[in-house]
Chains A and B, each alone.
Chain A
């Protein structure tokens, strides 16, 4: 943690310790979960699924949270990742790891190519364009039965090969595998967020024209952010396929994109821990509300609307704001309040450290 600090050293350090502490608590809980849940394979599987969704949500965070482009093709690439792994391991008897690598490469390449066309469009056109792209992926997967088995889906996707070291038939092994990938995603997000790349993307989100005027290559950066998001989606898709063992066309449906969007929105767009918080919260809330499956969106729908209106940066963003308010006040007495009030967030650090001119860091909320 030797980041350059240009302003507000003390508050930044204080909130950094806070975040570090909370991060450690979160990591311990996630790492220890299998030990606590030896009795309940079901809960562990549910948590594994939540990890996979969280990874995919991190992908969406890159393009929507940082860059401010609403891509509705996300589940399409999630589906491509899942189906490449599924088809190669089931129908062509590839090993999981080989198929996994191909999945990642395929989603990176298709994402890059799709981005070349999609990013010519802007704003609402981009959202509509990507929604159509995602729907075409869904149509291809559900109709091209010769290859994808259509509506029947693929059964018996291979588990990862662990050699003599790990047996991935063990739910806890799968869990740790997904957790490892999630850790990479979190670290990458954190690293991007504090790097020039992250600031560039945030500048694009705030205003493309302004970013252009200070010499940012908007096209290239958007292109890279889009490809990164599809690659992460594809990785998550491949993990989904092997974790579930079964995949159907619905993994690539537009509704899946909407669900990931909801995870991201509730957790906090453009934050480091938002996707994990949002995903786990919603997945477990849904689990609790299983008895009224049909009605859950009666609650969730208005919650989404209210969040967008009142707390557009989600839970993580909201706490970030609270922390910022208290940490900025120099009095020692307030520090205690901060510790009890905060849940997550990378504090006020990025906002204060931003290299772009003040006009750009000020969020147009």
Chain B
């Protein structure tokens, strides 16, 4: 039972990280209609940004994540302007190929600066909490609380603010939204910036628990894609549920089955779901 509780918390923490990353990817898909294959690279840059701000600038823990988020938001906006905007009328394969090019660039940029070796970020929050016999590190609790708080803020932003509503309007109907005076370019920039910032926060939160490497984004890419396909491309509640489900499933599988299985869950799930429903689990039946 102790083990179960411990793994549940681990799974929730992992799920929180997945959620933050997946929500951004899902937003980008909803607005720009492209699967951004460079999303994992943005996450990776977020982790390094946090690492740099913390070790080189020496600011205390929360600030580095904020700095990384701001920097990454700028990167996201830049990506929209330089890559996706010029390609807005191209066949869908071209976006994906361009995103792969961007991913290569980000990976080698980070590798050029910090080298290919794994890096360990010093843990800013130490200590564990004993709960019903299980040892739970404070870092994980911070992740869960922060993830839930940010997701709640995001929900408020989407539902209550003009910007959030304009994102949703563009998602529903790009032409219709521009007819009523919403600038689709501005919304695209806002969305990519927001998605990149969320990825950076996710990476910054989990960085002290994981090792950093320039290729750390690649594995995450596949997992967040699995999540948003599971939850339906472009659906926020779907991404949140999918994120926590995958996080918990991975944590449980690694304890009770094997780490290999836990690693493969996302991909098997992805292939399985798409084999049965080629447009995702919760997608509308009508194709667009």
List chain A positions with a Cβ less than 8 A from chain B. Answer: 64, 68-70, 117, 120-125, 127-129, 131-133, 135-136, 139, 143, 205, 254-255, 258, 261, 265, 294-298, 300-305, 308-309, 312, 364-365
Assess whether A302 is in contact with B101, with CB atoms less than 8 Å apart: yes
Query: CA A53 – CA B98 in complex, angstroms?
Result: 21
Query: CA A232 – CA B263 in complex, angstroms?
Result: 30
B280 neighbours in A (Cβ, 8 Å)? 125
Q: Is B278 an interface residue (CB 8 A)?
A: yes
Binary per-residue interface labels of chain B (87-119) against chain A in the complex, 1 for a CB within 8 Å, 0 otherwise = 100111110111011111111110110011000
Provided the pairs A294-B108, A295-B108 are in contact, do residues A129 and B270 lie with their beta carbons within 8 angstroms?
yes
Which residues of chain B from 214 to 267 have a CB within 8 Å of any chain A CB? 218, 222, 225-226, 229, 233, 260, 263-264, 267
B142 neighbours in A (Cβ, 8 Å)? none
B109 neighbours in A (Cβ, 8 Å)? 298
A131 neighbours in B (Cβ, 8 Å)? 222, 225
Binary per-residue interface labels of chain B (13-44) against chain A in the complex, 1 for a CB within 8 Å, 0 otherwise = 00000000000000001000111000000000
Query: CA A117 – CA B275 in complex, angstroms?
Result: 6
B93 neighbours in A (Cβ, 8 Å)? 64, 68-70, 127
B105 neighbours in A (Cβ, 8 Å)? 297-298, 300-302, 305
Assess whether B278 is in contact with A136, with CB atoms less than 8 Å apart: no
Assess whether A258 is in contact with B108, with CB atoms less than 8 Å apart: no
Assess whether A121 is in contact with B278, with CB atoms less than 8 Å apart: yes
The 9 closest A-B pairs by CB, nearest first: A301-B105, A304-B101, A297-B108, A301-B104, A120-B278, A297-B104, A121-B278, A305-B101, A132-B270
Query: CA A261 – CA B96 in complex, angstroms?
Result: 11
Provided the pairs A295-B108, A297-B108, A312-B94 are in contact, do residues A124 and B101 lie with their beta carbons within 8 angstroms?
no
List chain B positions with a Cβ less than 8 A from chain A. Answer: 29, 33-35, 82-83, 86-87, 90-94, 96-98, 100-109, 111-112, 115-116, 218, 222, 225-226, 229, 233, 260, 263-264, 267-268, 270-271, 274-275, 278-280, 287
Closest chain A residue to B260 by CB distance? A143
Assess whether A308 is in contact with B90, with CB atoms less than 8 Å apart: yes
Interface of B is mostly: helix
Assess whether A308 is in contact with B104, with CB atoms less than 8 Å apart: no
Query: Closest approach, in angstroms, between the C-beta of B137 and any C-beta of chain A?
Result: 28
Instruction: State which of A123, A255, A265, A305 has its C-beta within 8 Å of the C-beta of B92.
Output: A123
Assess whether B101 is in contact with A301, with CB atoms less than 8 Å apart: yes
Query: CA A157 – CA B172 in complex, angstroms?
Result: 55
Assess whether A132 is in contact with B222, with CB atoms less than 8 Å apart: yes
Provided the pairs A139-B264, A364-B91 are in contact, do residues A305 and B83 lie with their beta carbons within 8 angstroms?
yes
Closest chain B residue to A119 by CB distance? B278
A–B Cβ pairs within 8 angstroms, 27 of them: A64-B93, A70-B97, A122-B278, A124-B33, A124-B35, A125-B274, A129-B274, A132-B274, A136-B267, A136-B268, A136-B271, A258-B100, A258-B104, A261-B100, A296-B108, A297-B104, A297-B107, A298-B109, A301-B108, A302-B101, A302-B105, A305-B105, A308-B94, A308-B98, A309-B83, A309-B87, A365-B90
Assess whether A124 is in contact with B34, with CB atoms less than 8 Å apart: yes
Query: CA A128 – CA B97 in complex, angstroms?
Result: 12
Query: Beyond the given A117-B274, A258-B100, A298-B112, could you list 17 further A-B residue pairs with CB under 8 A, ordered by the A residue number?
Result: A69-B93, A70-B96, A117-B275, A120-B274, A122-B287, A124-B96, A124-B233, A125-B278, A128-B229, A132-B271, A135-B222, A136-B271, A139-B263, A205-B91, A294-B111, A302-B101, A308-B87
Closest chain A residue to B107 by CB distance? A297
Query: CA A207 – CA B86 in complex, angstroms?
Result: 21
B218 neighbours in A (Cβ, 8 Å)? 254-255
